[in-house]
Chain A
Amino acid sequence: EVQLVESGGGLVQPGESLRLSCTASGFTFSNYWMQWVRQAPGKGLVWVSRLNDVGSTTNYADSVKGRFTISRDNAKNTVYLQMNSLTDEDTGVYYCGRGCFSNSGGCVGLWGQGTLVTVSS
C-alpha cells in the first residue's frame, strides 16, 4: 500500500525540541521530494519545509528557519523534521507529504495522517 506514516509528535514545553519522522512505503521513496505542512488547531494549512530527492536542497518557511531542520534517510524510506526552540505558535498537526511526481517539489500528491505537536507549559 502506498502510504506515509508520521510519528514523534507529543507534548513539549516551550524551548524544548522534538523530532518528527515520516516513513514511506509502497513507492520508490528516493525519487520524490518530501514536504512538511502544519495546521494549528482550527486554522488553515501552512507550508513548513521541503527537501529534494537526494537531500541536497532544502527550503524553509521564514517562521521556522534556523530552528527546524528537514532531512531524509533514503535507505530507511524516512524523512525527518528536527524542531528546536519550540514555541506555542508551533502547536498543531504536522503532515508530511510527497511530491506529486518524481522530481517535483511543488504540489503534494500523497499525505500522511498527521502527528500532533503541542507546545505548552
Chain B
Amino acid sequence: DIEMTQSPSSLSASVGDRVTITCRASQSIRNYLNWYQQKPGKAPNLLIWTTSNLQSGVPSKFSGSGSETDFTLTISGLQPEDSATYYCQQSYTVPITFGQGTRLEIK
C-alpha cells in the first residue's frame, strides 16, 4: 500500500497568514493527489484534484503543487472559516489512501 504522510500534524496561524501543508507519498503517485477540507461534524469537501486543479466553487486562496512523491497545499489570506482538518489522498492505485490529516487552527 502507498503510505501518505502529512506534515505538520497540526499548526496554528493568524488571520491573513499564508500556510503550507506538505504531503509525501511512499512511492511515486505521478500527479494523482487530491486535497480535502473537513470541518468538525461535517463531511469532507474536495478542494484540489490531481495535484493542482481547483474544484469548482473553491476559493482561489487554495492552491496545490507537486509531483511524483512530494506535494503541497497552500492556503493564503487565512480567515477564521479556514479552521479545519486537511487531508491529502492518493488516487493513483488501490487501495486508495489518505494522509493522517493536518489540523489548522486560526489564532
Q: Report A's interface with B, CB cutoff 8 A.
A: 35, 37, 44-47, 50, 59-62, 95, 100, 105-109, 111-114
18 contacts between A and B (CB under 8 A): A37-B44, A44-B85, A44-B101, A45-B36, A46-B98, A47-B95, A47-B98, A50-B96, A106-B34, A106-B91, A107-B46, A107-B89, A108-B34, A108-B36, A108-B44, A109-B46, A113-B43, A114-B43
Q: How far is the CB of A95 from chain B (nearest CB, A)?
A: 6
Q: Is B71 an interface residue (CB 8 A)?
A: no
Complex CA–CA separation, A34 to B93 (angstroms): 16
Contact B95 A44 (CB under 8 A): no
Complex CA–CA separation, A100 to B45 (angstroms): 11
Complex CA–CA separation, A59 to B93 (angstroms): 10
Q: How far is the CB of A104 from chain B (nearest CB, A)?
A: 8
- Give the residues from 26 to 62 in chain B that come closer than 8 angstroms, CB to CB, to chain A: 32, 34, 36, 38, 43-46, 49-50, 55
A106, closest chain B residue (CB): B91
Contact B34 A107 (CB under 8 A): yes
Instruction: Choose one: B43, B94, B100; the contact of A95 (CB below 8 Å).
Output: B43
Known contacts being A45-B36, A100-B46, is A107 close to B98, with CB within 8 Å?
no
Complex CA–CA separation, A98 to B38 (angstroms): 17
Chain B residues in 8 Å Cβ range of A60: 95
Complex CA–CA separation, A37 to B34 (angstroms): 15
Contact A107 B44 (CB under 8 A): no
Q: How far is the CB of B83 from chain A (nearest CB, A)?
A: 17
B87, closest chain A residue (CB): A45
Q: Nearest 10 A-B pairs (CB), nearest first?
A: A106-B91, A111-B43, A107-B34, A47-B96, A59-B94, A45-B98, A107-B49, A44-B101, A61-B95, A44-B100
